[in-house]
Amino acid sequence: MIYVRELLAGLLSPFVVGSRPRFARQLQKFAHTELYTHYDIAAVAARQAPDVRAEMERHANDELRHYGIFREWSSRVSPYIGANYGDPADTTGFDRASVRMQAELEAAPSRRLPELGDYMTYIFLSESRAVLQFTVTRWMNPWNRRAWKQIPLLLQDETRHVSYSFGHAWREFLRAPWQRFKGGLRVMGYILRQDVIDLLKLVQVVGSGVMGFVLYYGIVTPYGLVLRLFGAGRRARIRSWTSETQALDESFWKEF
């Protein structure tokens, strides 16, 4: 069930990829997700034993590389989308500093899922969702040559992330099955909450568009037309009255 969102996003991707600004914005979103994941994984890696730590640091560095790829891709699709005009080349690392701060907030996976087994389950699910979305996006947009060539290169890394995180999640599960089962429920709850928040954002965007349309064309414009009709009618009445009964016509002066 948690893969439905990615499947839909993949199926709807021609609508996004077909428009340069929309596609550039989508690529910027991907870039930020990659950067956020980079910081989040690095935070968890720092707490692990050397062998696990090395694997996680490799993963974190992959995500940093993916961030660079998506950012460059976005700037080539549409250079003005998401650009920081004060620092277009991002030389001061403004982008990185802000995402890093987001990844340190309490809601971050590294803080909500502190145990390695739970965190690896979360990574496994997130990475496999990304694999699904990228794969469907590629197959839905065969005419976009950049997507057709770039996505398989990204998928090489992503499938490795899926397999190593599954390996760790499984090992931790065998070590303490009941605890990891309960942890799995926590992970599902965490993902569900993220998805509900994303859905609410979408509802807000679509809802404000619909309400704006209704307000303008359903209320403001008809109201303006009614006012105009009343105004036109009133003006016609005033004009007819003044032309028939002029207070200061010639007869008024004849009395003096």
CB 116 within 8 A of CB 168: yes
CB 200: neighbour CB atoms within 10 A?
11
From the list 1-9, 57-65, 81-89, 194-202, the region that binds Fe ion by CB under 5 A is: 57-65
From the list 26-34, 145-153, 196-204, 239-247, the region that binds Fe ion by CB under 5 A is: 26-34
Query: Least distance from C-beta 159 to Fe ion, angstroms?
Result: 9
Q: Does 66 bind Fe ion (CB under 5 A)?
A: yes
Looking at the Cβ atoms of 83 and 155, the one nearer to Fe ion is: 155
CB 18 within 8 A of CB 208: no
Output the residue with the shortest Cβ distance to Fe ion: 66
Query: Least distance from C-beta 100 to Fe ion, angstroms?
Result: 17
From the list 34-42, 46-54, 108-116, 177-185, the region that binds Fe ion by CB under 5 A is: 34-42
Residue 96 CA to chain centroid, in angstroms? 17
Q: Does 161 bind Fe ion (CB under 5 A)?
A: yes
Q: Does 129 bind Fe ion (CB under 5 A)?
A: no
From the list 22-30, 154-162, 183-191, 227-235, the region that binds Fe ion by CB under 5 A is: 154-162
From the list 14-22, 31-39, 50-58, 191-199, the region that binds Fe ion by CB under 5 A is: 31-39
At 152, give phi and psi (nearest 5°).
Answer: -60, -35
What's the CA gap between 212 and 214, in Å, rounded?
A: 6
Tell me how far apart the terminal alpha carbons of the chain are, to the nearest angstrom.
Answer: 97
E strands, the chain, are none
Query: Least distance from C-beta 168 to Fe ion, angstroms?
Result: 14
Looking at the Cβ atoms of 40 and 158, the one nearer to Fe ion is: 158
Looking at the Cβ atoms of 64 and 81, the one nearer to Fe ion is: 64
Closest CA to 122 of 102, 137, 108, 106: 108
Please report, for residues 25, 137, 148, 151, 177, the alpha-carbon distance to residue 145 in angstroms, rounded to integers and kept in the order given.
19, 12, 5, 10, 46
Please report, for residues 4, 8, 18, 38, the alpha-carbon distance to residue 14 in angstroms, rounded to integers and kept in the order given.
17, 11, 6, 28
Between 80 and 119, how does the x/- string for binding to Fe ion read (CB under 5 A)? Answer: ----------------------------------------
Encoding tokens for residue 113?
């899922």
Q: Does 32 bind Fe ion (CB under 5 A)?
A: no
Q: Does 168 bind Fe ion (CB under 5 A)?
A: no
Q: Does 71 bind Fe ion (CB under 5 A)?
A: no
* Chain residues that interact with Fe ion, rule: CB under 5 A: 34, 63, 66, 127, 158, 161
